[in-house]
Amino acid sequence: MRLSRSLLATVIWGMLPMAQALATPADTHARLLVENALIFSPQVDGDRPFLGYMEVAADGSISRIGQGRPPAIHANQRIDAQGFWLLPGFVSAHSHLWQSGFSGIAPNQGLQGWIDELYGVEAKKLGAYELYLLSQQGAFNHLNNGITSVFNFTYTGSDESGLVDRCQLRGALDSGLRVVHGLNVRTVGSEWTAEQAYRRAVDFLDWAQGQPERGLYLKTMLAGTAAYDGMPAEQMAVEARLMRELELGNQQHYLESPALAEGEAARYGAFKQAGMIGPGMIFGHFIHSTPAIAADAAASGVAMSWNPLSNGRLGSGMADVLAYRKLGMKIGMGVDGEASADRADPFENMRMGLYQVRASAQDAAAMSAEEVWHLHTLGSAEVLGIDHLVGSLEVGKRADFMLLNPKEFTPYHDAYAALVFAAGVENIHSLYVDGVQVRQRDTDARRLNACLSPAPGGLRQTESAPPAPPAG
């Protein structure tokens, strides 16, 4: 790796002091030691990249991180990362894993035409088996592109059993991705009551708590639909009840479509009256807001997920993230679905967002490279309420990180600028979740059987899946 003189000076002397390795009581042998890396971590105080090391404990958490050479550490695995950059895994605050099979769909349609083709035609063909496979493939694509944690909007369709919900969570978990599950309770109406919707959520939560990958399954939130123009009032009532009684967060696609913005904006008062406007609410897209709605939402603790790739591809518009930031609103970034963003690519998502902001403001200093990278890592984790676990490289957090090889681009004075302007998924050398390298693997038939085998109280646990029949 070649560093400019100014960047090398920054690395050697440090623009801000970095505390020496903060040790925690360690196991006799650490799981992993990475040394000689240029370490990036979005800290609140804006620490600059530094040459140093990181130790991962046996439980997959970061146990030490510091500048320079490490102290004497006994590690089961050591990586000499000289010439590589060490960064936290990206966090996508808004993803649709099941859409992995539909890149390029409705290429010249806006949101309404795109919905008609994807949801009105293709999604209706999918059962639990297909949704499992598509969710797993989408999760692999996220991991391969450096994303280690996501909020996943699931597809429910007409299913009443909850099987499609369980299969989509299992598809994500079986890939090794860390996931906040977005649960859709279906549209309430004459054929589906509010009580059935409530019971669906309770049953899913009971089942999900029993899954063995407790570290990968972070929590469940609502993938809400009450914001949609024309949605019955009962939908808002049941979602408000779930938020209140089960303490579930809620992410709504809100004010995304220019055609539906007026009707959706008119629902804000009902949201407020129902008690849904507060720190538990995330507005996805949030493009066509009014100044009054934006100010009230920010003051109430509502966060938003910014999805530049899909907003540009569908011609939906651009969220005024500069105004929202001035109001104090928490903002995270999402790669959305591969049917609308077409690539689960956080590097392209950062560039698209940053360049949109600068072009709109006609000011290259309107947002910095470091700021947009922060939004796709720690910022997204904060929006999802998982920043105590992921989003930055700090002692006690999970060791979700990537090693990036910068040899194909030449960093100049600012390493963050080189990272955001020039790096891409092709520069990812390796990715780790809990300090274990993640690789795409073939679908595990045992897990497929477990997903699709009914059992009392829900799906059969993966460890109790039936053994394969004897050969012959």
Residues 186, 223 contacting (CB under 8 angstroms): no
Nearest-CA neighbor of 135 among 149, 152, 121, 119?
Answer: 152
DSSP 456: T
pLDDT at 46: 57
Q: Is the dihedral of CA 341, 229, 375, 438 positive or negative?
A: negative
Residues 466, 449 contacting (CB under 8 angstroms): yes
Q: Could you give the CA distance from residue 233 to residue 235 in angstroms, rounded to a whole number?
A: 5
Q: Residue 294 has which token pair?
A: 């934006």
How do residues 184-243 score in pLDDT, each as one tens digit?
A: 999 999 999 999 999 999 999 999 999 998 799 999 999 999 999 889 999 999 999 999
pLDDT at 21: 37
3-state helix, strand, coil in the chain (%, to 5): 40, 20, 40
Q: How many helices (H) and strands (E) are present in the chain, helices listed first? A: 16, 19
pTM of the model: 0.89
Q: Residue 76 has which token pair?
A: 């089961």
**In Å, how far are 10, 16, 81, 89, 370 from 47, measured between CA atoms?**
11, 6, 20, 17, 11
Q: Which helix (H) or strand (E) holds 389?
A: none
How do residues 16-74 score in pLDDT, each as one tens digit?
A: 233 333 334 434 589 999 999 999 987 644 568 999 999 999 999 999 999 999 999 89
What lies within 8 Å, CB to CB, of 234 at 6+ separation is 188, 189, 194
DSSP 332: E
Three-state SS for 82-147 is CCCEEEECEEEEEEEHHHHHCCCCCCCCCHHHHHHHHHHHHHHHCCHHHHHHHHHHHHHHHHHCCE
Q: Could you give the CA distance from residue 164 to residue 129 in angstroms, rounded to a whole number?
A: 8
The three-class DSSP label of residue 54 is: strand
How do residues 87-125 score in pLDDT, each as one tens digit?
A: 999 999 999 999 999 999 999 999 999 999 999 999 999
With a pLDDT cut of 90, the percent of the chain lying above it is: 82
Nearest-CA neighbor of 62 among 54, 73, 51?
Answer: 54
φ, ψ of residue 67 to 5 degrees: the values are -80, 155
pLDDT band with cut points at 50, 70 and 90 for residue 422: very high
| Opening angle at CA 343, ends 342 and 348, nearest 5 | 120
Question: Which residues are registered as beta bridge partners of 404?
Answer: 85, 428
The three-class DSSP label of residue 286 is: coil
How do residues 289-321 score in pLDDT, each as one tens digit?
A: 999 999 999 999 999 999 999 999 999 999 999
Question: Which residues are registered as beta bridge partners of 172?
Answer: none
Tokens 């009256």 sit on residue: 273
With a pLDDT cut of 70, the percent of the chain lying above it is: 86
Q: Could you give the CA distance from residue 166 to residue 132 in angstroms, rounded to a whole number?
A: 9
Q: Residue 362 has which token pair?
A: 């006609």
pLDDT at 28: 54
Name all domains of the chain by residue range, CATH numbers in brackets.
5-89+392-437 (2.30.40.10), 90-384 (3.20.20.140)
The three-class DSSP label of residue 336 is: strand
